[in-house]
Structure 1
Amino acid sequence: MLIGVAAGGALVAIIILVGLFRLMWRVAEPNEALVISGSKHRTDGVGEGMGFRIVTGRGTLVMPGVQAVRRLSLDLNEAELNVDCVTQQGIPLKVHGVVIFKVGDDMVSIANAARRFLDQQKFMPERVHNVFAGHLRSIVGGLTVEQMIRDRERLTAETRAASGSEMEKLGLIIDSLQIHEIVDPTGYINNLAAPHAAAVQRDARIAQAEADRLATEAEQQAAARMAEATRDSQILQAGYMAERDKATASSRQAGPLAEAAARQEVVVQETRVAELEAQRREQQLQADVRKPADASAYEKRTLAEAERDARISAAEAKARETELAAAAEANRVKTAAAAQAEQTRVSGEASAAATRATGEAEAAATQARGLAEAEAAKARGLAEAESIKARAAALAENQEAVVAQQLAENWPEIVRAGAEAFGNVDHMVLLNGADGMSEMFAKALTMGGTGLGLARQLLAQMNGATGAGGDAPSNGAAPRSPERVRLQD
């Protein structure tokens, strides 16, 4: 009884262990990788402490509730390329192609792809299309339409090489890149093919015409041979009929007709000889005249066609040369115009800089002259003020001496003004000679005349200067010197 219970308990334990093992055991399919997160693991080529481990092609234990396991597909994926591009010549094209890619088999690629596309694998074709579209536009922008058409392998190789590093960062590898079609909405490619198609069509028409000519010649020769055979047959039939008639006549007429039959035989034989001679001459004419004439005509026609093709080729080469020369001249003119514009711009900038420097120098000189003139005016004003101040001080200290000095300095004008009093005198009689003249002149100066007015004006100016200086008496009257009192009296 106890043995049965123990056996049952052992069986239950085994069943539980098997169930737990099946619950914890995960197996990676050949086309997928298991990404197990929840603890730090070391992955070859990736580094330590990634927080997840990668299992491919085998089974592994996963702790439920502690670790999480997700599957990353390693199957092939396909991304359609429909990219609008512009070539180096500025011609818009549409490039259609397909990219076949997958997640790399190495641990580094799987780790990179797991970080970027885990649970988002449906967005992988869109991301790949964006990567290839950018590089494809850049590469097509550096190529011409002719290069793309004639060397499509170069376009594929450059696009694959340019996108390889970015695909490697995404953990993806390119299995295949194919450019299916280059669509030209502007018709540029058709225009490129037009000259070649025209040349092929021309050669086809020439070949057809040559074939028609040869067929016509063969038909004519066959018709001639048929006519010749018909003629020979008719001649033979006529001969046979003559022989038959001869036999009939011979049988009907034995006498007189024998001679006629003989003569008829002679005529027939002569006719046959003549016909054979005519046939021989015709054959001779065919060999001597018609065949050489046909050969000569064929030679001339062939030479004319060759000369025509040569002229067409020369004209096309000349047109191409003219086009290249025009393009070169246009580039030269454009370069010269750009150089002239650059020279004009540099000259303008130099002239502007010179004008600005000249203006600044003139402004500085004008400012310096203005400052100098202001300083000079200020110095003159200060000097005049100092002179007035000194004159006022001198007048306050010794008024008589100052007045005498001023009178002495202005005495010529005073005498001139006094002499003007005699300007209107026509005739003067002096009784006492020189003494009378002196007395007359002294009276002219002392009588309210012009000379006395000048003297009074001079004294008034001196009094005003004294009043401004502050040294005049308090009642506003200037001191009266003896000379001034004598003049007023």
Structure 2
Amino acid sequence: MLIGIIAGAVVAAVIVVIVLFKLMWRVAEPNEALIISGSKHRTEGVGDGLGFRIVTGRGTLVTPGIQTVRRLSLDLNEADLDVECVTSQGIPVQVKGVVIFKVGDDTVSIANAARRFLDQQKMMGARVHNVFAGHLRSIVGGLTVEEMIRDRERLTGETRAASGTEMEKLGLIIDSLQIQEILDPTGYIKNLAAPHAAAVQRDARIAAAEADRQATEAEQEAFARKAEATRNSGIQQAGYQAEMDTAAARAQQAGPLAQAASRQEVVVQETKVAELEGHRKEQQLQAEVRKPADARAYETRTAAEAERDARISAAQAQARETELRTAAEANRVRVAAQAEAEATKARGLAAAEATKATGQAEAAAAEAKGLATAEAARALGLAEAEAIKARAAALAENQEAVVAQQLAENWPEIVRAGAEAFGNVEHMVLLNGADGMGEMFAKALTMGGTGLGLARQLLSAMDGAGANGREDAARKDDATARPAKQTIPIQPDPTA
């Protein structure tokens, strides 16, 4: 029990000691100084009987109730300067600056500052401004504006030196003093700078003009080189373009030239085909027109000698058929020739637009086809001539039979023509009735017989002596070709 009481008493005593220690122990921060007053202390370098103790950077014991502890800041302080001054020339100026200061780190400075600013630490800036304002007016009064502007360090140094003693008395030290601005309400500084500004402006303008001239020369030279390069490039591009155009033209002409060459070959082959076709048509005309015409003429002459009356009609009918067939063939050949000529003309125009060589080939084809057409026409003419010759031979042998057959073939037309005389008669008076009508028609038909006699006279006059020669030659040819046959004359119909 006693041990517990003793232990509790010890613990309580320890707690009391700790609490008392905390209440009595004070520590000075790095940026402050402890001013302990209430007992007489001896401070080195200050003298005896200060009545307070200065503690910096460490802790100390303070007796509560007997000693008092206050703190003095050692931080930097700033004071703005705005002082109106007058120079030695009598020119008013306004000087603006800033002072950076603090309490000195030594004991004497701390003691001096503690005596003056311990309760008025916020008033340090105003006090410092007043100190520097007085010294600035004094120093500026001995300087000119030119000296202040040109040698601002001198103004700063003299102001700092003049204020140093008083600042030491206040326990303060100057870390920095800067003269920031010197204002001139009268415009003296501005006028002072005007000549220099004008000179500078003049030099600037001269320099700008010189730079502009050099830049212009450089630009013109660059433009000239650029124009020369553009010209050279244009010439080269024009040359390249000409080569490209030439190559393109050749490439474009290659196709038409190849087509023209192939077309020329086609035209040559077509020309050969046309020539062969012309020969074929000529042979065909020889086989189909001339030889059949000769055969028919020979057959007609033979039939006319055998049975003149009957065979003359058959020969005339055969001749008529031959004539119609020949005309139809001639018409077909003409139409084909015209179509071929139109095709040749169209091909010639198309080929002429392509190239001269194609045109020449087409012209050659047209010429060959024209020759073929001419040959066909010539063969047709020969066939027609042979047919006409056969008819002339038949006519020379028996004119009356030919005329009679023509009249027989055209007898309906003759009767129709005779009847047309009565077609325009509106009123006809017949005295003897039906006999008068019969006599009238008989007279109209008698005109056919008169026409027959007239035709005979004309044929006799046209033939003349030449008919006998042709008949003898034809008879000699027939005599050599076939045995002679008896010719039976056919009397014309008395009613005709």
Q: Normalised by the size of structure 1, how large is the TM-score?
A: 0.45
Give 1 or 2 for the bigger CA radius of gyration. 2
Q: Normalised by the size of structure 2, how large is the TM-score?
A: 0.45
Q: Which has the higher contact order (CA 8 A, sep 6+)?
A: 2
